[in-house]
């Protein structure tokens, strides 16, 4: 019997996602499906899904037996996600109200979580990453897509969203994921200044 994975989509920050073209969204969805080993029946979570572009694409990828949890702080964005899912005829999208430093997910519920252009908004990475670690079941994966600052990286997480230091480095993301307990992190260039860091929760304590 094919193992069921869990994909969770979380939308946190109303201005987190940069403008992406339809091609970018399709490419990123394909990259995430491969990096997180997603398939029919998977359940995934996204932190910062914006208006739901990736939520819709990955909900289609995991099929009717899969599920997508789309978590968002902003009520208007949550409504946009619901509309996008309905327009696509999807019934496997669950919208969850987000919190700034907590994924608000049951412990051990997920095989995979991801986010795009959102990590640099985390003012308290240890708390959020700890929440994500608890939500991912043993052996589950996490993928962080984000962009490096054009200049010097902020010395503190709270400054990463400021215009002067806008962005975060792949090295900082990997270091903070390891601090939360994730292992086997890898990183690669996506496009422009964007990168993806993939890590996993250990299979055993």
Question: How distant, in Å, are the alpha carbons of 29, 59, 61, 203 from that of 56?
Answer: 10, 5, 9, 29
Residue 169, both tokens = 């480095």
Evaluate whether residue 84 is within a structural domain.
Answer: yes
Evaluate whether residue 1 is within a structural domain.
Answer: no
The total domain count for the chain is 1
Evaluate whether residue 155 is within a structural domain.
Answer: yes
Q: How wide is the angle at C-alpha 57 spanned by C-alphas 56 and 63, nearest 5°?
A: 85
**For range 57-68, the mean pLDDT:** 95
Evaluate whether residue 14 is within a structural domain.
Answer: yes
CATH assignment of the domain containing 102: 3.40.50.150
Give the pLDDT confidence score for residue 12 in this predicted structure.
43
Q: pLDDT band at residue 204, thresholds of 50, 70 and 90? A: confident
Distance from CA of residue 51 to its chain's centroid? Answer: 14
- Among residues of the chain, what percentage have pLDDT more than 90? 71
Chain mean pLDDT for the chain: 89
* The pLDDT of residue 29 is above 90: yes
**Contact (Cβ atoms closer than 8 angstroms) between residue 184 and residue 200:** yes
Model confidence over 150-164: pLDDT tens digits? 989 999 999 999 988
Q: pLDDT band at residue 18, thresholds of 50, 70 and 90? A: low
Give the pLDDT confidence score for residue 113 in this predicted structure.
95
Give the pLDDT confidence score for residue 105 in this predicted structure.
80
Q: Give residue 27's domain range.
A: 7-200
Query: Distance between CA 52 and CA 113 in Å, rounded?
Result: 15
């Amino acid at each position: 019997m094919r193992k069921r994975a869990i994909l969770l989509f979380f939308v946190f920050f109303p201005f987190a996602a940069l403008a992406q073209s339809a091609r970018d969204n399709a490419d990123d969805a394909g990259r995430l499906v491969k990096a997180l080993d997603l398939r029919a029946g998977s359940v995934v979570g996204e932190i910062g899904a914006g208006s739901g572009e990736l939520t819709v694409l990955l909900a289609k990828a995991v099929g009717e037996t899969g599920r997508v949890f789309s978590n968002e702080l902003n009520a208007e964005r949550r409504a946009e996600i619901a509309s996008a899912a309905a327009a696509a005829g999807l019934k496997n999208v669950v919208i969850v109200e987000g919190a700034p430093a907590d994924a608000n997910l049951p412990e051990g519920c997920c095989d995979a979580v991801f986010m795009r252009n959102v990590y640099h908004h985390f003012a308290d990475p240890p708390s959020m990453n700890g929440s994500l670690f608890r939500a991912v079941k043993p052996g589950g994966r996490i993928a962080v897509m984000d962009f490096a600052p054009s200049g010097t990286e902020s010395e503190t997480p709270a400054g990463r969203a400021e215009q002067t230091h806008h962005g975060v480095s792949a090295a900082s993301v990997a270091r903070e994921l390891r601090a939360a307990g994730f292992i086997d992190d890898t990183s690669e260039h996506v496009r422009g200044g964007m990168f993806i860091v993939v890590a996993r929760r250990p299979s055993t304590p």
